[in-house]
A = this chain, B = another copy of it.
Amino acid sequence: MNVGVLGTGMVGRTLAWGLSEIGHDPMIGTRDPAALAGRTDRDAMGNQPFPEWHAEHPSVGVGTFAEAGAHGSMIFNATSGAASLEALHLAGEANLDGKVLVDVSNPLDFSQGFPPSLFVANTDSLAEQIQRTFPGARVVKSLNTMSAPLMVDPAAVGGGEHVVFVSGDDAAAKGDVSTLLRDGWGWQHVIDLGDLSSARGAEMYLLLWLRLMGSLDTPRFNISLVR
């Protein structure tokens, strides 16, 4: 499957490589591929320069947001929350139409420092904003509740005995994403939270996640459900 992955940070890189490793054909989308190819600096999160990473992962294509949007029959939004709507506009509404759009972003607002707050929450969510802005896209919120390495390798902690959520208004789209999560990356526990408004809960969990990261002193954790 051709997949467009919007965003060049750790989440976008990890998802793109994780898709390539299970036989898909990913293309990372970015605003200016030439500028990206010339980067020699680490990003704000300390990740290696993109060209260096890309040289180690040559099976991942790179193009503009619009090229990645056109390439993918499924699209991942792995941009920062604040940049998501603009990146999706650049990907092109027509390129999103009818496609499954997996929204992995979080509406984090760092304007007051760390820990951040959310720039949308409680009675709305970024996933719903995206769905309203691009009504032809089949938005599924997922994978926003754990650090990037675990998204594509849940077995890396606790034998994979932990959960990933899907939220969305399109049952078939949630099914497609659930299948990718299960059969592609080995997620054993995919929890359907309900319609897209349930993404509010998944996004608001981030404020708890960030505190847990501090308490546990690692982002390498996830939650499981005990009954």
Interface string of A187-227 (1 = CB under 8 A from B): 00001111001101110110111111011101011111111
Q: Chain A, interface size: which category? A: 35 or more
CA distance A205 to B216 in the complex (A): 18
Chain B residue nearest in CB terms to A225: B221
Q: Is the CB of B227 within 8 A of A216?
A: yes
Q: Is the CB of B194 within 8 A of A204?
A: no
CA distance A209 to B223 in the complex (A): 12
Q: Determine if A2 is an interface residue (Cβ-Cβ < 8 Å).
A: no
Determine, out of A3-11, A54-62, A70-78, A116-124, the stretch whose residues face the partner at the interface.
A116-124
Q: Is the CB of A192 within 8 A of B215?
A: yes
A220 surroundings in chain B (CB, below 8 A): 227
Q: Determine if A162 is an interface residue (Cβ-Cβ < 8 Å).
A: yes
A122 in complex: contacting residue of B207, B212, B227, CB < 8 Å: B207
**Residues of A that sit less than 8 Å from B by CB:** 112, 115, 117-118, 121-123, 157-158, 161-162, 191-194, 197-198, 200-202, 204-205, 207-212, 214-216, 218, 220-227
